[in-house]
Every structure is written in C-alpha cells, then in structure tokens.
Chain A
Amino acid sequence: SYELAQPPSVSVSPGQTAAITCSGDALAKQYTSWYQQKPGQAPILVIFRDNERPSGIPARFSGSISGTTVTLTIADVQAEDEAHYYCQTADRSATWAFGGGTVLTVL
C-alpha cells in the first residue's frame, strides 16, 4: 500500500484562491484524480489525469503537478465550494488509494 498526504484543512474567503496539495511517491508515476464530497453525498470527480476537468465542472477548478506533489486549485472560491476534497491515484499493481482528505472552509 502507499500513502497520499493532504493537509487536514484549508480556509479562504469568498473570491480568493484555494490550493490543496497531495503528496506521495506514487504521484510521480501515476495520474491523480480529485473528488469533492459534501456531507451526506457521494464524491464527485472534479479533476482527472492530474489536470483535466470533466464536463460540467467549472473552469475555476484546475490541477497541476510538480514532482511528487499534485495541487488542486480553486480560483474565485464560492460558498458552494465548501466541502471535503480527496486526491486519489492507482499504483502499477492496479491498487487504488485515497488521500486523507482536506476540508475546505469558506470564511
């Protein structure tokens, strides 16, 4: 198994930019996805293949990678963006894992 480390929490004011990181050795070799989860709901895919956005996800959401750290960036944060965010990747043995999650608070 392998670990993906995320900060437990990130807080920003509306209109500011939030950056959520995810670190792990596997990330240098495999693509990372990001999911948004609101209380009582199933996760929703917001970024895949490090920096691609599914249809229907606002352009405010973007992803990037540098070495073994991937970053989810949310520009012009809205109140509706308040949620838990999880990174996810798979290793070469086809085993998937999720990061510990980051709660985004919109002040």
Chain B
Amino acid sequence: QVQLVQSGAEVRKPGASVKVSCKALGYTFASYAIHWVRQAPGQRPEWLGWINTATGSTKFSEKFQDRVTFSRDTSASTAYMELSSLRSEDTAVFYCARCDYSRGHFDYWGQGSRVTVSS
C-alpha cells in the first residue's frame, strides 16, 4: 500500500541546517508531486512548497524561498527537504505529502519528522 516514510527526529542549534527525507513506497514515485508542510506546536499546517518528482522543478512559499531547498533521488524514490539558517521558531513537525499533478489535494502524508532548534 502507499506509504511515505520520513526520517527521524533532529535537534539543531540556531543557524544550522537540517535535511529531512521522505521515502515513497507502494506507487510510482515520479507520477505524483511531493509537497512539504511545517506544523509548529499548536499551529495550523504551513505550506513550504513542492517538487515535481519527475522533472525536479520546484516551487516555494514566499516565506521560505530563501532558506528551503527540495531535491529528489528517483532511483531511491526519495524526496528531500533542507531548511537552512534555523531559528527557534522553526521548531516544528515537518511533513511530506503526496499530490496528484492534476489535482490539489494531499492524499497521503508521511508520519512527520520533528525538528527541534535549541541552543
């Protein structure tokens, strides 16, 4: 069955970077986009952007476009999100989610990767 399996929890100091992975199982990786979403404690989900897993093209939320990078390894069916210049406000759970290219909804989500930014 379809699954998105994310990497584990990370702790970083302010100013550092973090890279989260999202491995797709049970479907053809390049047939769906991968979106990334951040959710701080007690807050709404916040959209970071997405990657076209077939072409590698990306689009970012204006809020994060200077600090976030998306990549993918099609041979490993894995997408990556790297966030740089971390600050305490980045402490959150980061999710990847699958999205059909012709639709706008996220039908499967990863389990989430908790990132803690603390000195």
Q: In the complex, are the beta carbons of A42 and B107 less than 8 A apart? A: no
Q: In the complex, are the beta carbons of A96 and B110 less than 8 A apart? A: no
Stretch at the interface among B7-15, B24-32, B42-50, B67-75: B42-50
The listed residue with most A CB atoms (<10 A of its CB), out of B59, B95, B106, is B106
Residues of chain B within 8 A of A48, CB atoms compared: 103-105, 107
Residues of chain B within 8 A of A44, CB atoms compared: 109
B102 to chain A, nearest CB (A): 11
B interface residue count range (under 10 / 10 to 19 / 20 to 34 / 35 or more): 20 to 34
* CB nearest to B47 among chain A residues: A96
Known contacts: A95-B47, A98-B47. The answer to whether A42 contacts B110 by CB under 8 A is yes
Stretch at the interface among A13-21, A66-74, A75-83, A86-94: A86-94
A interface residue count range (under 10 / 10 to 19 / 20 to 34 / 35 or more): 20 to 34
Residues of chain A within 8 A of B63, CB atoms compared: 1
**Distance A43 CA – B46 CA, assembled complex (angstroms):** 12
Interface residues of A in 1-57 (CB under 8 A from B): 1, 30-31, 33, 35, 42-45, 48-49, 54
B80 to chain A, nearest CB (A): 18
Question: Of B59, B104, B109, which one neighbours A31 at CB under 8 angstroms?
Answer: B104
A48 to chain B, nearest CB (A): 4
